[in-house]
Amino acid sequence: MANKLIVTAAPHITGEDTTQKIMQRVCIALVPTLIASILIFGINALILTAVTVIACVVFEYGYCKLMKREVPVGDFSAVVTGMLLAFNLPATLPWWMAIVGAFIAIVIVKQLFGGLGYNFANPAIVARIALAVGFASRMASYPFPESGVDALSSATPLAAKAGSEAYRALLLGTHGGVLGETCALTILAGGIYLIATKVISPTIPVTYLGTVAVLSLCAGQDPIYQLLSGGLLLGAFFMATDYVTSPTTRKGKLVFGIGLGVVTCAIRFLGTMNEGVSFAILLMNLVVPYIEVLTRQDKLGIAKVKKGGAAK
Amino acid sequence: MYYIKMDKEKEKVLGKTNTPRRTAAAELRLFLGGKTENRLRTVLQILSKQYREVEIRMSKFFKRSALGAKVPHNKHTSHLETVAMPLPSKIVLSMGQHIGAPAAPAVAKGDQVYVGTVVGKAGGFVSMDIHSGVSGIVDGITTITAPNGAPQTAVVIIPDGKQTVDPDIKPPVVTDLKSLQDAVRASGLVGLGGAGFPAAVKLSPKNLDEIDMLVINGAECEPYITSDNRCMQEDTDYIIKGIQTIMKYLDIPKCVIGIEANKPDDIKKLSEVTKDMPIEVKELPCTYPQGAEKVLIETCTGREVPFPGLPSDVGVIVMNVTSVAFIAKYLETGMPLVTKRLTVDGDIVKNPGNVEVIIGTPIQELLDFCGGLTDEPGKILYGGPMMGTCVADLSQPVLKNNNAILALSQKAAQTPKATNCIHCGRCTNACPLGLSAKEIARAYEAKNVELLYELNGDLCMSCGTCSFVCPAKRPLAQTLALAKIMMKNGGKK
End-to-end CA distance of chain A: 48
For residue B176, give the amino acid letter: D
Cα dihedral across residues B38, B43, B49, B52: positive or negative: negative
CB atoms within 10 A of CB A148: 10
**Whether A250 and B453 lie within 8 Å, measured CB to CB:** no
Is residue A182 within 8 Å of A37, Cβ to Cβ?
A: yes
CA dist B373 and B410 (Å) reads 12
- Which residues lie closer than 8 Å to A56 by C-beta, 6 or more apart? A78, A79, A81, A82, A85, A102, A105, A106
What's the average model confidence in pLDDT over B256-270? 92
**DSSP characters over B98-144:** SSSSPPEE---TT-EE-BT-EEEE--SSS---EE-SS-EEEEEEEEE
Q: Would residue A301 count as lying in a domain?
A: no
**Whether B390 and A8 lie within 8 Å, measured CB to CB:** yes
Look up the ipTM and state it: 0.87
- Per-residue confidence (pLDDT) for residue A73, from 0 to 100: 65
Q: Would residue A34 count as lying in a domain?
A: yes
Assign A164 to helix, strand or coil: coil
What's the average model confidence in pLDDT over B144-165? 88
The number of residues making up chain B comes to 493
Chain B residues whose CB is inside 8 A of the A294 CB are: none
What's the average model confidence in pLDDT over B387-391? 90
**Whether B393 and A5 lie within 8 Å, measured CB to CB:** yes
- Confidence label for A311 from pLDDT (cuts 50, 70 and 90): very low
Q: Would residue A303 count as lying in a domain?
A: no
Assign B324 to helix, strand or coil: helix
Whether A158 shows a pLDDT value over 70: the answer reads: no
- Per-residue confidence (pLDDT) for residue A222, from 0 to 100: 85
Is residue B456 within 8 Å of B436, Cβ to Cβ?
A: no
Give residue A230's domain range. Answer: 19-294
**Whether A297 and B416 lie within 8 Å, measured CB to CB:** no
CATH code, domain with A245 = 1.10.3430
Q: What is the pLDDT of residues A269-294, one digit of tens each?
A: 888 776 689 999 999 999 999 999 99
- Per-residue confidence (pLDDT) for residue B6, from 0 to 100: 52
- Per-residue confidence (pLDDT) for residue A81, from 0 to 100: 94
Q: Would residue B14 count as lying in a domain?
A: yes
- pTM for the whole thing? 0.86
- Confidence label for A125 from pLDDT (cuts 50, 70 and 90): very high
Q: Would residue A299 count as lying in a domain?
A: no
**Residues forming a β-bridge with B343:** B354, B404
Nearest CA in chain B to A21: B471
- Confidence label for A143 from pLDDT (cuts 50, 70 and 90): low
Cis peptide bond prior to A94, omega within 30° of 0: no
Q: Would residue A23 count as lying in a domain?
A: yes
Report the DSSP pairing between strands B213-218 and B377-382: unpaired
Q: What is the pLDDT of residues A218-249, one digit of tens each?
A: 988 888 888 887 789 999 999 999 999 999 99
Q: Would residue A306 count as lying in a domain?
A: no
Host H or E run for residue B158: strand B151-159
Assign B325 to helix, strand or coil: helix
- Which residues lie closer than 8 Å to B439 by C-beta, 6 or more apart? A292, B428, B455
**DSSP characters over B416-469:** PPP-------HHHHH-TT---HHHHHHHHHTT-HHHHHHTTGGG-----HHHHH
- Per-residue confidence (pLDDT) for residue A308, from 0 to 100: 46
Angle made by CA atoms B464, B469, B472, in degrees to the nearest 5: 110
Q: Output DSSP code: residue A267.
A: I
- The mean predicted confidence, pLDDT, of chain B is 88
Q: Would residue B442 count as lying in a domain?
A: yes
Q: Would residue B24 count as lying in a domain?
A: yes
Backbone angles phi, psi at B414, to 5 degrees: -70, 140
**Whether A15 and B392 lie within 8 Å, measured CB to CB:** no
- Per-residue confidence (pLDDT) for residue B215, from 0 to 100: 94
Is residue A227 within 8 Å of A275, Cβ to Cβ?
A: no
Q: Report CA-CA distances (Å) from B285 to A55, A265, B46, B221, B318.
A: 47, 42, 25, 10, 18
Give residue B452's domain range. Answer: 426-489
- Which residues lie closer than 8 Å to B320 by C-beta, 6 or more apart? B191, B192, B193, B216, B217, B218, B228
The percent of chain A in helix, strand and coil, each rounded to the nearest 5, is 60, 0, 40
CA dist A45 and A58 (Å) reads 20
Q: Report CA-CA distances (Å) from B352 to B80, B93, B347, B404.
A: 9, 24, 9, 11
Nearest CA in chain B to A22: B471
B393 at interface of A, judged by CB pairs closer than 8 A? yes
The number of residues making up chain A comes to 312
- Per-residue confidence (pLDDT) for residue A306, from 0 to 100: 46
**Residues forming a β-bridge with B198:** B190
Within B197-352, strands assigned E span: 213-218, 254-260, 279-284, 316-320, 339-345
Q: What is the pLDDT of residues B226-246, one digit of tens each?
A: 999 999 999 999 999 999 999
Work out how many domains chain B is built from and give that number.
2
Q: Which residue has the higher pLDDT, B7 or A205?
A: A205
- Per-residue confidence (pLDDT) for residue B36, from 0 to 100: 76
- Confidence label for A159 from pLDDT (cuts 50, 70 and 90): very low
Chain A residues whose CB is inside 8 A of the B377 CB are: 1, 4-5
How far away is chain B from the Cα of A19, in angstroms, using its nearest Cα?
5
Q: Which of residues 67-96 of B touch A (CB under 8 A)?
A: 69-72
CA dist A264 and A279 (Å) reads 8
Is residue B430 within 8 Å of B466, Cβ to Cβ?
A: yes
Q: Would residue B471 count as lying in a domain?
A: yes
- Per-residue confidence (pLDDT) for residue B9, from 0 to 100: 61
Chain B residues whose CB is inside 8 A of the A1 CB are: 376-377, 394
What b/e string do you get for B4-30 counting C-beta neighbours within 10 Å, with b at 16 or more?
eeeeeebeeeeeebbbeeeeeebbeeb
Q: Report CA-CA distances (Å) from B76 to B175, B224, B226, B357.
A: 42, 7, 8, 19
**Residues forming a β-bridge with B373:** B349
**Whether A297 and B376 lie within 8 Å, measured CB to CB:** no
- Per-residue confidence (pLDDT) for residue A172, from 0 to 100: 72
- Which residues lie closer than 8 Å to B431 by C-beta, 6 or more apart? A297, B64, B66, B437, B465, B466
Q: What is the pLDDT of residues A28-46, one digit of tens each?
A: 999 999 998 888 888 889 9
Work out how many domains chain A is built from and give that number.
1
CA dist B191 and B203 (Å) reads 11
**Whether B388 and A6 lie within 8 Å, measured CB to CB:** no
CA dist B487 and B468 (Å) reads 24
CA dist A176 and B267 (Å) reads 60
CB atoms within 10 A of CB A220: 7
Q: Would residue B481 count as lying in a domain?
A: yes
- Per-residue confidence (pLDDT) for residue A309, from 0 to 100: 42
Report the DSSP pairing between strands B389-390 and B339-345: unpaired
- Per-residue confidence (pLDDT) for residue A148, from 0 to 100: 39
CA nearest to B338, candidates B153, B132, B113, B97:
B132
Q: Output DSSP code: residue A88.
A: T
Residue ending a domain, choose from B13, B39, B63:
B63
Is residue B404 within 8 Å of B377, Cβ to Cβ?
A: no
CA dist A190 and A74 (Å) reads 22
Q: Would residue B59 count as lying in a domain?
A: yes
Q: Would residue B26 count as lying in a domain?
A: yes
Whether A157 shows a pLDDT value over 70: the answer reads: no
Is residue B370 within 8 Å of B336, Cβ to Cβ?
A: no
Chain A residues whose CB is inside 8 A of the B69 CB are: 15
Residue ending a domain, choose from B33, B63, B93:
B63
- Per-residue confidence (pLDDT) for residue A184, from 0 to 100: 87
CA dist A154 and A130 (Å) reads 21
**Whether B388 and A10 lie within 8 Å, measured CB to CB:** yes
Whether B70 shows a pLDDT value over 60: the answer reads: yes
Q: Which of B69, B305, B455 sits opposite A301 (nearest CB)?
A: B305
- The mean predicted confidence, pLDDT, of chain A is 84
**Residues forming a β-bridge with B362:** B397
- Per-residue confidence (pLDDT) for residue A124, from 0 to 100: 92
- Confidence label for B365 from pLDDT (cuts 50, 70 and 90): very high
Chain A residues whose CB is inside 8 A of the B424 CB are: 22, 243, 248
- Per-residue confidence (pLDDT) for residue B276, from 0 to 100: 86
Is residue A167 within 8 Å of A228, Cβ to Cβ?
A: yes
